[in-house]
Amino acid sequence: MRRALVALVALALAVAPFALPGAKPLGVTEKICVMAALAASYDVLIGYVGIVSFAHAMFFGLGAYGLGLTAYAYGPAYGALGLLAGMVLAGLTALGVGLFALRVQAIFFAMTTLAIAYCFNIAASQWPTLTGGEDGRSFRALIPSAHYFGVTGRTLSYYLVFLGAALVFGLLLRVVNSPFGRVLQAIRENPLRAEAMGYRIVVHRTLAGVVAAIAAAFVGGLDAQWQRYVGPDTASSFSLQLDMLVIVVIGGRGTILGSLIGAAVFVIAETYLRAALTALSGPALLNPDRWLLWLGLGFILAVRFAPKGILGGKPL
């Protein structure tokens, strides 16, 4: 049943440009792909390593800014090089953060990563000569808006995001199902016992953080090429960090593929809940301006009745 649900969502995303014509549906499905892949990379940390980081959106931003600023300065042909540079920088930053901050535990690590992410967000919004500041940078599309054998450039851009997200899922599943991934789960379940068996906890956690950061940066570049824009609100906001945390919880921690289900539920609710409340036009509680209230209540109910997520908290 769970495999069928995952396959159904993946198939829907694969045929979305032809089954759901129009700019808005395509934008919704693109966001599902991006948030699913981003949340899957975050699940490596929170689901398999057992640590909560508030700096994961920063790595997404490094990839987005890497591609966006390079395409802005040198043209879209150099965007891939900028994305590669952003991924390398994300990996090196995650390595430094891990070696520095993973020696502290629980809330202390979370607060350390929050401070680092806050510094990055300030730099992105207050460095106008490089990042464009609060206004960000717009750049030309990597795939021009033209028709290629009857398919629009926008559709090709979507499939670039879709295939990139699929690649992220495939690589992350390979990592967590490898001997390295099993060690991570052992550390999550009983770090003292894992250390007694000879595993270096800080090293394994740091390497997992590097893998997750590189994946997040890659996804950030995919999203930037779709939007043809990069800025603090889209690439490094704290709300993005909260969104991926909610998606992982809804889909199921420690499943990777649960992020796909969680992203579909979250993005569709976020996009269409307000429109649904407008159509109802009922009492004050159903006012469209209160859509966040109903979204929050839905999340509380999901945690209450499915605490392990939709996929049951077990790998497929």
Q: What is the pLDDT of residues 123-150, one digit of tens each?
A: 999 999 999 999 999 998 887 766 666 6
Q: Is the pLDDT of residue 22 over 90?
A: no
- The better pLDDT of the pair 274, 181 is held by 181
Helices 56-74 & 23-43 angle (0-180, nearest 10): 130
Task: Label residue 103 by pLDDT band (50, 70, 90).
Answer: low
Distance CA 222, CA 11 (A): 20
Per-residue model confidence (pLDDT) at position 281: 64
Task: Label residue 314 by pLDDT band (50, 70, 90).
Answer: low
Mean pLDDT across the chain: 87
Residue ranges of the domains in the chain?
Answer: 2-305
Per-residue model confidence (pLDDT) at position 101: 73
Task: Label residue 104 by pLDDT band (50, 70, 90).
Answer: low
Per-residue model confidence (pLDDT) at position 106: 64
Per-residue model confidence (pLDDT) at position 158: 93
- Out of 233-242, 280-289, 297-306, which region has the weakest mean confidence (pLDDT)? 280-289
- 3-state helix/strand/coil string of the chain: CHHHHHHHHHHHHHHHHHHCCCHHHHHHHHHHHHHHHHHHHHHHHHHHHCCCCCCHHHHHHHHHHHHHHHHHHHCHHHHHHHHHHHHHHHHHHHHHHHHHHCCCCHHHHHHHHHHHHHHHHHHHHCCHHHHCHHHCEECCCCCCCCEECCEEHHHHHHHHHHHHHHHHHHHHHHHHCCHHHHHHHHHHHCHHHHHHCCCCHHHHHHHHHHHHHHHHHHHHHHHHHHHCEECHHHHCCHHHHHHHHHHHHHHCCCCCCHHHHHHHHHHHHHHHHHHHHHHHCCCHHHCHHHHHHHHHHHHHHHHHHCCCCCCCCCCC
Percent of the chain exceeding pLDDT 70 equals 93
| DSSP β-bridge partners for residue 137 | 230
Does this model's pTM top 0.85?
yes
Per-residue model confidence (pLDDT) at position 192: 82
Q: Across residues 158-173, what is the average pLDDT?
A: 95
Secondary-structure class of domain 2-305 per CATH = mainly alpha
Q: What is the pLDDT of residues 200-229, one digit of tens each?
A: 888 898 999 999 999 999 999 999 999 999
The burial class, CB within 10 Å (0-12 / 13-18 / 19+), for 184 is buried
Q: Across residues 69-79, what is the average pLDDT?
A: 92
- Among 10, 40, 33, residue whose Cα is nearest residue 215: 40
Percent of the chain exceeding pLDDT 90 equals 47
Task: Label residue 172 by pLDDT band (50, 70, 90).
Answer: very high
Q: How far apart are the first and last CA of the chain?
A: 10
Q: Across residues 258-272, what is the average pLDDT?
A: 90
Q: Across residues 78-93, what is the average pLDDT?
A: 95
- The better pLDDT of the pair 61, 110 is held by 61
- The better pLDDT of the pair 222, 18 is held by 222
